[in-house]
């Protein structure tokens, strides 16, 4: 037979467990809400007119042969001096947020994966040259990590039978 004290202890323990479960559910919900909020701000930033122009310029006009040639072009062309740094800064921020788990990789890769991959491949020689010029081996490192993670994510999705990711990977080579 259970005494009143034992019954109270059981009820208290059960209540504590239920409160803990409720708190965990609420925390998870808050984390998802934060993830959505940050993701929406990122996508809003990506739709900014100046960044859209930078993406378009990167797609259509960006060329990098040597750093010296590029520096000479920068002096004549305002877009050449601003857009590569702007795109790099955007993906550096996105990569940082993914790395610190403020935003899920799948959200970024599903929406911006094409740009992450194509822009990294175009900008990599420029970023390497900027690292040397700035004497900063970390310049663009979050962008580089984001690129590696995005390629891995797309390969995994391709291997699981999602052929649109296979097509994207093939097209971006």
- Enumerate the domain spans of the chain: 1-33, 48-171
CA 26/CA 74 separation, integer angstroms: 51
Burial 114-132 (b: 16+ CB within 10 A, else e): ebbbbbbebbeebbebbee
Total-model pTM: 0.75
Pick the closest to residue 90 from 38, 18, 143 (CA basis). 143
pLDDT along the chain (173 residues), means of 10: 69 65 58 63 72 90 88 88 93 93 88 91 95 96 97 90 74 64
Q: Are 71 and 81 in contact (CB under 8 A)?
A: no
- For position 35, what pLDDT does the model report? 64
């Amino acid at each position: 037979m259970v005494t009143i004290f034992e019954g109270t202890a059981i009820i208290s323990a059960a209540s504590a467990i239920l409160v803990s479960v409720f708190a965990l559910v609420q925390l998870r919900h808050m984390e998802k809400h934060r993830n959505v909020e940050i993701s929406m701000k990122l996508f809003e930033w990506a739709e900014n007119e100046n960044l859209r122009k930078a993406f378009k310029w990167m797609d259509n006009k960006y060329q990098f042969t040597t750093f010296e040639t590029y520096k000479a072009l920068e002096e004549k062309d305002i877009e050449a001096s601003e857009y590569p740094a702007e795109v790099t800064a955007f993906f550096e921020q996105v990569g940082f947020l993914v790395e610190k788990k403020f935003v899920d990789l799948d959200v970024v890769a599903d929406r911006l994966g094409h740009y992450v991959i194509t822009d990294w491949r175009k900008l990599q020689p420029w970023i390497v040259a900027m690292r040397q010029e700035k004497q900063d081996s970390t310049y663009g490192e979050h962008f580089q990590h984001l690129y590696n993670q995005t390629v891995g994510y797309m390969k995994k999705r391709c291997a699981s039978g999602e052929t649109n990711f296979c097509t994207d990977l093939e097209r971006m080579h």
